[in-house]
């Protein structure tokens, strides 16, 4: 495909490790991801340099862009949380020759992708596979951190994303094992948020705590979360299975709480972790803990729960944002 032959927009999903770029046609009804590439952020001095490299490689000169970044996006200056990249909207816009630039939060981009997902882009944990997307939608994503967002509206009136900091609410442990985990994390961090448990590092902490029966030193060497998941799925490492089972149980509680707070009708689980162990999640205490909300069991039982398996939901959401920005600019 000759990227220069179409009026395409640049889209990007920028994290601390990888910078994902693609092009999209912002005037089509269905968002597209064209010429996707993944670049290692460590190899580039700035977002501008990485974007210029990508555009030169695909031979495109877009006049608009929608860029999702792993950081807060308020104000003119943007600083990535886990990468020493910063830029101002105006300077990046000028450097790339853009007429229009939208900068959105990376988990906000995942949320914008939800209405554009096709049936092959998710797995239904509970509810009908063919059930239409019904709002409000709670979106929660364990990964490097814990993203939480709210999607409101409907297909007829349009959708709107409410970005939140729901991952930083206080952790509410249930049972002796979770109390032990909470005590250890409190001793190390002072305050324990839900994100301290429901993220990659959180799984590593839980594994170390269970291995030491709560007596791991603060500077304990942690296993890689991917190693823990692999060991748990292989079935030979009992502690790894306990750690992943506890992770799933806590996730169930938090997802249920989030759905109640949002008044949700649908839950979408995003992030890079859960798609790796969907069968394990199904057989865990996830659903039991999701439903363990006293008088609201029946309300939660009616809810559709899905796991996003699309390989690039951030890019898909950026494509939706590019189209939305164009529509907002066009005369009515």
pLDDT by residue for the chain (332 residues), tens only, comes to 445 456 899 999 998 788 999 999 988 878 899 999 999 999 999 999 999 999 999 999 999 999 999 888 888 999 887 788 999 999 999 999 999 999 998 888 999 999 999 999 999 999 988 889 999 999 999 988 898 999 999 888 889 999 888 999 999 999 999 999 999 999 999 999 999 999 999 999 999 999 999 999 988 899 999 999 999 999 899 999 999 999 999 999 999 999 999 999 999 999 889 999 999 999 999 999 999 999 999 999 999 999 999 999 999 999 998 888 776 665 44
Residue 158, both tokens: 């349009």
The DSSP code for 223 is: P
Q: In terms of pTM, does the model score above 0.85? A: yes
Is residue 136 reached through a cis peptide bond, with omega within 30 degrees of 0 on the bond before it?
yes
Q: What's residue 245's pLDDT? A: 98
- In eight-state DSSP terms, residue 27 is T
Q: Which residues of 288-325 are buried (b: 16+ CB within 10 A; e: fewer)?
A: ebbbbeeeeeeebeebbbbbbebebbbbbbbbbbbbbb
Of 285, 218, 291, nearest to 247 (Cα)? 285
Identical fold for domains 3-112+312-329 and 167-308, yes or no, is: no
Q: What integer pLDDT is reported at residue 84 of this predicted model? A: 86
| Alpha carbon distance 313, 321 (integer Å) | 12
Instruction: Give the integer Cα–Cα distance in Å for 228 and 241.
Output: 8
Q: How far apart are CA 143 and CA 163, in angstroms?
A: 17
3-state secondary structure of 117: coil
pLDDT of residue 155: 83
* pLDDT tens figures, 81-90: 778 899 999 9
Contact present, 9 and 301 (Cβ < 8 Å): no
**Nearest C-alpha neighbor of 227 from the set 250, 211, 215:** 211
User: Is residue 121 within 8 Å of residue 139, measured between CB atoms?
Assistant: no
Phi and psi at residue 69, to the nearest 5°: -130, 150
Domain boundaries, the chain: 3-112+312-329, 167-308
Task: Name the DSSP class of 266.
Answer: E
- Does 50 belong to an annotated binding site? no
Q: Report helix, strand or coil for 254.
A: helix
Q: Three-class SS of residue 80? A: coil
Distance CA 46, CA 78 (A): 12
Does 12 show up as a binding residue in the annotation?
Answer: yes
Beta bridge partners of 79: 86
All residues at 6 or more sequence positions from 119 whose CB lies less than 8 Å from its CB, including other chains: 129, 130
From 163, 149, 145, 160, select the one nearest 272 (Cα to Cα): 145
Indicate the fold that domain 167-308 takes in CATH. Hexokinase; domain 1 (3.40.367)
Q: Is 256 annotated as a binding residue?
A: no
Count Cβ atoms within 10 A of the Cβ of residue 205 and give its class: 0-12 exposed, 13-18 middle, 19 or more buried: buried
Q: What is the largest CA-CA distance in the chain?
A: 64
Q: Say which residues have a Cβ less than 8 Å from residue 54's Cβ, sequence separation at least 6.
A: 10, 21, 37, 39
Please tell me the predicted confidence (pLDDT) of residue 2.
47
**Dihedral-angle region of residue 75 (phi above 0 means left; psi in -120 to 50 means alpha; beta otherwise):** left
Tokens of 42: 């460590």
Backbone angles phi, psi at 81, to 5 degrees: -70, -45
Is position 16 annotated in a ligand binding site? yes
CA atoms within 13 A on the CB side of 184: 26
CATH assignment of 3-112+312-329, given 3.40.50.300, 2.60.120.10, 3.40.640.10, 3.30.420.40?
A: 3.30.420.40
3-state secondary structure of 128: coil
pLDDT of residue 83: 83
What end-to-end distance do the CA atoms of the chain give, in Å? 32
Residue 13 is labelled as binding a ligand: yes
Quote the radius of gyration of the chain (alpha carbons, Å): 21
């Amino acid at each position: 495909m000759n990227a220069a032959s179409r009026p395409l927009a640049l889209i990007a999903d920028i994290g601390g490790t990888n910078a994902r770029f693609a092009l999209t046609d912002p005037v089509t009804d269905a968002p597209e991801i064209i010429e996707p590439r993944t670049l290692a952020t460590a190899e580039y001095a700035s977002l501008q340099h990485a974007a210029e490299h990508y555009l030169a490689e695909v031979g495109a000169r877009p006049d608009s862009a929608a860029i999702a970044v792993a950081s807060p996006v308020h104000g003119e200056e943007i600083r990535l949380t886990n990468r020493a990249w910063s830029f101002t909207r105006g300077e990046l816009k000028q450097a790339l020759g853009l007429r229009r630039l939208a900068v959105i939060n990376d988990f906000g981009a995942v949320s914008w992708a939800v209405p554009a997902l096709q049936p092959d882009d998710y797995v239904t944990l509970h509810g009908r596979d063919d059930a239409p997307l019904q709002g409000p939608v709670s979106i929660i994503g364990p990964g490097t951190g814990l993203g939480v967002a709210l999607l409101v509206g409907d297909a007829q009136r349009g959708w709107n994303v409410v970005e939140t900091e729901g991952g930083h609410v206080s952790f509410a442990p249930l049972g002796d094992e979770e109390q032990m985990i909470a005590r250890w994390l409190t001793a190390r961090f002072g305050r324990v948020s839900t994100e301290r448990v429901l993220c990659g590092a959180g799984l590593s902490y839980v594994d170390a705590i269970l291995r030491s029966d709560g007596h791991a030193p603060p500077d304990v060497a942690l296993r890689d979360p991917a190693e823990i998941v692999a060991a748990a799925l292989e079935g030979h490492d009992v502690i790894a299975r306990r750690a992943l089972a506890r992770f799933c149980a806590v996730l169930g509680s938090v997802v249920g709480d989030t759905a109640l707070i949002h008044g949700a009708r649908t839950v979408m689980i995003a992030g890079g972790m859960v798609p790796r162990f969907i069968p394990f999640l199904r057989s865990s205490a996830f659903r039991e803990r999701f439903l363990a909300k006293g008088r609201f069991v029946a309300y939660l039982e009616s809810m559709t729960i899905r796991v996003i398996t699309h390989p690039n939901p951030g890019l898909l959401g950026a494509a939706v944002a590019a189209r939305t920005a164009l529509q907002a600019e066009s005369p009515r």
